[in-house]
């Protein structure tokens, strides 16, 4: 029986993504090369260039597919607890060394808001939970749900990017408490 090229490609793709994250953590972005990723993943450079145009694009996909894909959607409970859990998860993601190191370089290199893209799934969950809260009367009916989600995530992003203070669960909990006071008046 002939090998299935789709399985082989998926296996190679996963090996490349894992190798890229492992290498960037051990040697840093500046010393990371496509050649070193290819050697570690046991693939040819052309295999990598077939899917990614640069090491920045490769690392972005590695973060999105491997680092950010383990999100767990849980049943909703009390509004404040749900929002705190999502914001804490966002803080935890930004605080992880691998995520922090790679994202800072990618944001600088690409001059785009890649962190916002990586946190987009968190924003979606926040918006869904806030929309349900508005529907259920837990927050005011006139609340702009996308703006409320932005109100929660923007300080997390700012604190991460500018390093104006520690990213912690207590910080994110405070953001939720302050925001809920405004949304419930």
Tens of pLDDT along the chain (185 residues) come to 554 444 458 889 989 998 998 888 788 788 889 999 999 999 999 999 999 988 888 887 887 777 655 555 567 889 999 899 888 888 887 776 556 666 666 665 554 455 666 677 888 889 999 999 999 999 999 999 999 999 999 998 888 878 899 989 999 999 999 999 999 98
Give the span between the Cα atoms of 103 and 1, in whole angstroms. 43
Q: What is the pLDDT of residue 111?
A: 47
Residue 73: exposure state from Cβ atoms within 10 A (0-12, 13-18, ≥19) = exposed
- Tokens describing residue 109: 């290199």
Give the span between the Cα atoms of 20 and 66, in whole angstroms. 11
Give the span between the Cα atoms of 153 and 63, in whole angstroms. 19
Q: What is the pLDDT of residue 1?
A: 54
Q: What angle do CA 132, 135, 137 make, to 5 degrees?
A: 105
Q: What is the pLDDT of residue 21?
A: 84
Q: Which domains does the chain have, with CATH numbers?
A: 5-67 (1.10.10.60), 79-184 (1.10.357.10)
Q: What does the DSSP assignment read for 3-17?
A: --HHHHHHHHHHHHH
- 3-state SS class at 52: coil
């Amino acid at each position: 029986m002939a090998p299935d090229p789709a399985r082989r490609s998926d296996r190679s793709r996963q090996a490349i993504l894992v190798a890229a994250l492992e290498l960037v953590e051990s040697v840093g972005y500046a010393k990371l090369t496509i050649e070193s990723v290819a050697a570690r993943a046991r693939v040819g450079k052309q295999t990598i260039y077939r899917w990614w145009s640069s090491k920045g694009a490769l690392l972005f996909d590695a973060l999105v597919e491997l680092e950010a894909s383990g999100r767990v959607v849980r049943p909703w409970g009390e509004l404040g607890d749900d929002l705190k859990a999502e914001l804490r998860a966002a803080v935890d993601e930004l605080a992880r060394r691998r995520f922090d190191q790679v994202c800072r370089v990618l944001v600088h290199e690409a001059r785009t808001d890649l962190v916002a893209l990586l946190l987009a799934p968190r924003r979606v969950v926040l918006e869904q939970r806030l929309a349900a809260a508005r529907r259920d009367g837990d927050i005011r009916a006139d609340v702009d749900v996308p703006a409320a989600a932005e109100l929660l995530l923007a300080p997390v992003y700012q604190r991460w990017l500018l390093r104006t203070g520690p990213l912690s669960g207590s910080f994110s909990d405070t953001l939720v408490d302050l925001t809920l006071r405004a949304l419930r008046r």
